[in-house]
Amino acid sequence: AQSVTQPDIHITVSEGASLELRCNYSYGATPYLFWYVQSPGQGLQLLLKYFSGDTLVQGIKGFEAEFKRSQSSFNLRKPSVHWSDAAEYFCAVGGAGTALIFGKGTTLSVSS
């Protein structure tokens, strides 16, 4: 079955500390992988995406993610978290021309 697992429901990180959000996927074809961020009551904002090529992907707002095929993972990282990063983060997988399958999301809280 095709699925995305985000093992961490809620993470709290101190401002200025590093962040890693985990994402594992199960997909039968070549996966296209995405990370989105959503603030309360808002739509989705694309942070980064992986289609092919370099497995380390740079995104907006200082985020990066690394695709590891052998581990079926696409973890999101940021070296130094800002209070404005507090939001809901969704990992998603899809194929060419198909709908995306989303994980359940990870809520990020940032403490001062």
> 83: helix, coil or strand?
helix
Q: How many residues touch other proteins (CB under 8 A)?
A: 21
Give long-range contacts, CB 8 A cutoff, 24+ apart: 27-30.
27/2, 27/93, 27/95, 27/101, 28/2, 29/95, 30/95
Work out whether 41 is an interface residue with other proteins (CB under 8 A).
yes
Q: Distance between alpha carbon 96 and the CA centroid of its chain, in Å?
A: 19
- Closest to other proteins by CB, 17 vs 51, is 51
- Closest to other proteins by CB, 15 vs 49, is 49
Rounded distance, CA 75 to CA 47, Å? 12
Among 28, 53, 70, 97, binds other proteins (CB under 8 A): 97
- Closest to other proteins by CB, 7 vs 16, is 7
Segment interacting with other proteins, rule: CB under 8 A, options 19-27, 60-68, 73-81, 103-111? 103-111
Stretch 52-81 residues interacting with other proteins (CB under 8 A): none
Work out whether 102 is an interface residue with other proteins (CB under 8 A).
yes
Q: How far is CA 51 from CA 16, 27, 32, 55, 90, in A?
A: 30, 14, 5, 9, 17
Residue ranges binding other proteins (CB under 8 A): 32, 36, 41-44, 46, 51, 90, 94-105
